Chains A and B, each alone.
Chain A
Amino acid sequence: MNSMSSGWQARAIQIGFVAALFLLWDFAGERKLINAILLPAPRAVFWKFIALAQTSALYTHLLVTLMELVLGFLIAAAAGLSLGYFIGRSRYGTIVFEPLLAGVFAVPIVIFLPIFLLFFGIGPSSKIAFGATYAFFPIVLNTIGGISQVDDRYVRVARAMGADDVQMFRRVLLPAALPVIVTGLRIGCIIGFLSIIGSEMIAGIDGLGSQIVRLGEAMNTAEMFAYILFVIFFAILLNTGLSHLQARFAIPGDGR
């Protein structure tokens, strides 16, 4: 079997699996096997979704979450890329700081959420700070990894041909490290999104996460599921976009 047909087969099984899940859900709803308040039928969720898409409430919450994600991600990227570059350039810096940062990242930083709320309040600021903190780690770690692991031969040959520091960065270090760095940005973005939604759900006023919790508490499960569906679509879109970005920065001939 060649890889092309096995790829198709895998995709068909994936789609079939999701379809089967929906059918099972629909069947359970139709036969009233599960209370509609606990688990509304897919059709009800779908119509709620369509209705929701025509109101402004959805977009208001989306805009809040999106704004938090964009700002949090930008802060994380700016801090992670610059710190990662300076640490990765120095062998000693890498030896000292890489394990330290990896260690902190292994701690469930969510335990510090109350501190974020105390410092930044219950509004979007605490979500931005929390999301930025979480997204920072994969970005800084991958930047250190990417920069510190640039093949020495490329650096040597560039130096022999007279490259100055700026040329060394633009023409050698950056393109060599970019695939690893972009992977860090992708993971950072996804983890940032997760932690922003999560922190909204734990303590928040606006945003998709807060809205989902509020609807659940009000037993308005059909609308809650409509929001959940929306977050899922958004996450898929985000991941697809980031995958394309990652493919665009891959080094030709890598990973064949």
Chain B
Amino acid sequence: MSVTAQIGTGIAAQDAAITVENVSHSFVSRDGAIVQTLDNVSLDIRRGELLCLIGPSGCGKSTLLNIIGGLLQAGSGQVKVNGRPITGPSPRELSFVFQDNTLFPWNTILDNVKVALEFQGVPENERQGRAEEALEAVGLTEFRNHYPHQLSGGMKQRASLARALSLKTDIVLMDEPFAALDEQTRIYLGEELSILLAKSNKTIILVTHSLAEAVFLADRIVVMTARPASIKAIIDVKEDHPREPAFMASGRFADYRNELYGFLRAEIEKTVGGFVGSAAARDRTRRGISESAGDAP
């Protein structure tokens, strides 16, 4: 089993695309209480790897992603991208794929990509070509003049992916990009993403709550604790990209997923509370974790 639970991964600084150094974050809630979301998180993200952040819902993994992307200010600590501290959005280095409905409904799919290129500062005469190229890469060429509401959820997320890819950044941050989709579509898009990214050599951080998605896509999986989030474990998934659908049916896949769930389970219990110690929970435990791992493909 390939658990490397060391926290500071200790790789040479020039190999790290992103370094997260002692980042903590908290916010003041509506009733005035200070809620800490991140507790002293340190992490190196290697150039060209796909890193998954997984943890109980609401634990702060999206917060960490937003701090890495410069959309949120860290309370303390800092994030460096290519060696330089991040102080705000850095659209030439980082692009985003958000959960859902971030395509502008008043623009066609093609215009959505073109407007992203305009925001990034790409000269006008290059936008059309690059937008069409990106839509081609995700197989949406024939839908380029459709409006977002005319596309299925899966197509919309592919369009969001095309928008991010068109920006040609070395780093792509994905915040639960498939969370709003049904399971079949999610698995299918995961396979497509694996193929697409295998040739791109991009550095990807993917926030997900799907165990299967994490194991199928990631080079490394970072398991986060319940709020305030810190890093509980890092799992190496030693499989080559692109990964075949057959990998999902393999024993190795099940082992990784069970190992992952083993780390997560205690954290989920902390979040969900209540049922722990109940008859139902004991019964569930007796039946074994692989069955309750839930989102098996």
Contacts and interface: CB of A to CB of B under 8 A. Distances in A.
Nearest to B70: A160
Name, among B89, B101, B106, B120, the residue most crowded by chain A CB atoms within 10 Å (CB to CB): B106
Nearest to A157: B102
Nearest to B100: A153
Contacts of B94: 160
A167 B106 contact: no
A252 B106 contact: yes
A176 interface: yes
Given A159-B89, A253-B150, A171 B105 contact: no
A171 B102 contact: no
B105 A162 contact: no
Contacts of B102: 153-154, 156-157
B203 interface: no
B119 A161 contact: yes
B104 A175 contact: yes
Given A160-B69, A253-B150, 16 more contacts: A153-B101, A154-B102, A157-B96, A159-B89, A160-B89, A160-B95, A161-B96, A161-B120, A162-B89, A162-B121, A172-B104, A176-B104, A252-B106, A252-B149, A253-B148, A253-B149
B179 to A, nearest CB: 14
Contacts of B248: none
Interface in A168-215: 171-172, 175-176, 178
B116 interface: yes
A256 B115 CA distance: 26
Contact of A156 (B71, B91, B92): B71
A252 B119 contact: no
Interface of A: 151, 153-154, 156-163, 167, 171-172, 175-176, 178, 251-254, 256
B71 A159 contact: yes
B148 A171 contact: no
A32 to B, nearest CB: 60
Interface of B: 69, 71, 89, 91-92, 94-96, 98, 101-102, 104-107, 115-116, 118-121, 147-150, 167
Nearest to B149: A253
A171 to B, nearest CB: 5
A156 B97 CA distance: 12
B52 to A, nearest CB: 20
A175 B119 contact: no
A151 B103 CA distance: 11
A161 B121 CA distance: 9
B106 A158 contact: no
Nearest to B99: A153
Among all A-B residue pairs, the 4 with the closest Cβ atoms:
A253-B149, A162-B91, A252-B147, A161-B119
A136 B94 CA distance: 44
B147 A253 contact: yes
Given A153-B98, A153-B102, A175-B106, A161 B149 contact: no
A160 to B, nearest CB: 5
Nearest to B97: A157
Given A171-B115, A175-B106, A251-B105, A160 B149 contact: no
A156 B70 CA distance: 11
Nearest to A172: B104
A154 B104 contact: yes
B218 to A, nearest CB: 23
Contacts of B91: 160-162
Contacts of A158: 119
B146 to A, nearest CB: 9
A171 B98 contact: no
A121 B102 CA distance: 53
A156 B116 CA distance: 12
10 contacts: A153-B102, A154-B104, A161-B95, A162-B119, A175-B104, A175-B106, A178-B106, A252-B106, A253-B147, A253-B150
